[in-house]
Structure 1
Amino acid sequence: MCLKVIKSDLKKELPTGFGKLLMHSSDEKNSIKSYKEFNSLISMNEVFINPGSGILPYEIKNIFKLVIPLQGVCAERLNNQDSTQVSVGEVQMIKYPDVAFKMEYNPNNEKALNYLILEFDYKRSNSKYKSEIFNLEYKSQNFNKILSAPIDEDENTTITLKAGNFKKDAVDDLVTNNNAKARIVYVINGSISLTNTDKILAKSDSIFYSKKKQLGFKAQEDSNLLMIEIS
């Protein structure tokens, strides 16, 4: 079982030629993948790309990806085709079942790009490359389902993304689906405290939780939360 909070100021930072990466799914001690409930998760990173810069083309295969802009517009070009763009207030779901060469870049020459990216193992041999963009609608005082998709051949593992807006002093539970074997919560803005613990999550903090037991929280201020469930 896992209850792990990764604070924004303790994330592993990887400087790059285009900006930097903040690694949410690992810290100095261990990786979240060491917990079996999260073994389908490849990585969860916060990416910063300087104005007019980008990530050089690289090969990708058997990946299910969620791209969630936090600031700016994220553009992707696959196999030298036309680019797709996703903006703040949207989430891009991408399936890469076959080998592809892609690049991600910041089309704005003046403002930096910041986005959250989650990658999972994708094992559906009969599927094709697919990119879909969804509106990131935050349901008031509750979690709203944005998307849901199976990522393995037998459809035994499904990724579901939810979003919620909670006013200051609102109380709720992070266990919204008893069938989920694991969940990740990311604070877009605001802050929450976890019930019966001394843990407080602020903006850009994340929590990895794999128990089915209820885990209550209280909004310390108006807060927008993302929840990724692995069922």
Structure 2
Amino acid sequence: MQKILHRANTRGYADHGWLKSNHTFSFAGYHDASRMNFGALRVLNDDRVAPGMGFGMHGHSDMEIVSIPLSGSLAHKDSTGRSETILSGDVQIMSAGTGIMHSEFNPDNAKEVNFLQIWVLPEKRGIAPRYGQRSFDLEAKRNSFIKVVSWQESGDALWINQRAEFSQGVFDPGTKVQLKPSAENTGFYLFVIKGSVEVAGETLQNRDAIGISGADTIDITVKDDARLLAIEVPLS
């Protein structure tokens, strides 16, 4: 088993006034040659957007973009004609493909929005841009992982243009849970949204993360009430 540990306080940080962002991997003005990616996982930003503010219309191409609001709401518009609002509990995917323009805006004039912005390198380049959004009730399946994004077009998970899977769950203290690879040559990146867990001989707390590869199973023991995000991606 190989592992790489990313503590919350080692992330890059940018304060633009209206936007405060922690970068797990090199992004924009933050560059660390040792933290460019974990396999196909390229970006994991922990963004906080001030009330009434947001990202103006801008473009992406050949990238799979996943947004997960943790609190507040985010209004989305894009060049495909979509105009949606995503809330805590929702997951949004956007395949930029041949090119897409979009904006993200906090429609609340009193509360900030906190969301995870995650980029995954695509399996195929040049596909038609596409959008997907779905709400997941994590509490309804407490103490187990729920698959929210998948490369397989089946079940409730949103489809992504990469052999990757995202799973989320909320867990009680004392819960033991396992992660198992769904394909060869993949690794898991476990991000602790909140709480405390023990995994691979390490104790992880709020916003800590660990990348693990070369393991048939990954055992997780929950120490404090936790919300976890597990991302399985190809390593090459």
Q: Same fold by TM (over 0.5)? A: yes
> Please, which moves more after superposition, 122-131 or 217-226?
122-131
Indicate the residue corresponding to 1:215 in structure 2: 218
Q: Distance in 1 between matches of 2:215 and 2:161?
A: 18
So what's the TM-score if we normalise by structure 2?
0.82
Q: Secondary structure at the match of 1:31?
A: coil
Q: Which amino acid aligns with 1:147?
A: V
What is the alpha-carbon distance in structure 2 between the residues aligned to residue 189 and residue 9 of structure 1? 14
- Scaled by the length of structure 1, the TM-score of the pair is 0.84
Alpha-carbon distance, 1:157 to partner: 4.3
Equivalent residue number for residue 55 of structure 1: 55
Counterpart amino acid of residue 164 in structure 2: I
Distance 1:145 1:191 in 2: 21
**1:106–1:144: structure 2 CA closer, same or farther, 3 Å change rule?**
same
Q: Distance in 2 between matches of 1:86 and 1:19?
A: 18
Please say if residues 123 and 161 of structure 2, whose CA atoms lie closer than 8 Å, have aligned partners that are also in contact. no
Identity fraction in percent: 21
In the other structure, the counterpart of 1:67 is: 67
CA contact (8 A) 1:62 1:123 kept: no
Tell me if the contact between 1:137 and 1:146 (Cα under 8 Å) persists in the aligned partners: no
Secondary structure of 2:9's match? helix
**Contact 1:50–1:113 (CA under 8 A) maintained in structure 2:** yes
2:199 counterpart residue number: 194
Aligned to 1:144: 146
CA-to-aligned-CA distance 1:96-140 (integer Å, 9 cap, x gap): 112222221111111011100111222535732221112234333
Alignment check: 8 A CA contact 2:36 2:42 kept: no
CA RMSD of aligned residues (A): 2.6
Structure 1 consecutive aligned stretches of length 4 or more whose deviation exceeds 6 Å: none
Determine the structure 2 residue equivalent to 1:128. 128
1:230 alignment counterpart: 233
1:23 aligned partner: 23
Which letter does structure 1 place at the counterpart of 2:74? C
2:43 corresponds in structure 1 to: 43
The equivalent of 2:157 in structure 1 is: none
Partner Cα separation in structure 2 for residue 84 and residue 193 of structure 1: 37
Measured after TM superposition, the shift of residue 53 of structure 1 is 0.7
- For residues 156 and 51 of structure 1, the distance between their equivalents in structure 2, rounded to whole angstroms, comes to 32
**Residue in 2 aligned with 1:174?**
179
SS of 1:221 mapped into structure 2: strand
Contact 2:64 2:161 in 1 (8 A): no
User: Is contact 2:192-2:228 (8 Å) kept?
Assistant: yes
Could you tell me whether the CA contact under 8 Å between 1:18 and 1:55 is conserved in 2? no
Structure 1 residue 67: Cα displacement: 0.3
Question: Which amino acid in the other structure matches residue 188 of structure 1?
Answer: I
Partner of 1:114: 114
Amino acid at match of 1:101: M
Q: Which amino acid aligns with 2:221?
A: K
Q: CA deviation at 1:29?
A: 6.4
Q: What is the alpha-carbon distance in structure 2 between the residues aligned to residue 40 and residue 69 of structure 1?
A: 22
Whether contact under 8 Å (2:181, 2:232) holds in the other structure is no
Aligned partner of 2:155 in structure 1 is none
Structure 2: segments with no counterpart, 5+ residues: 153-159
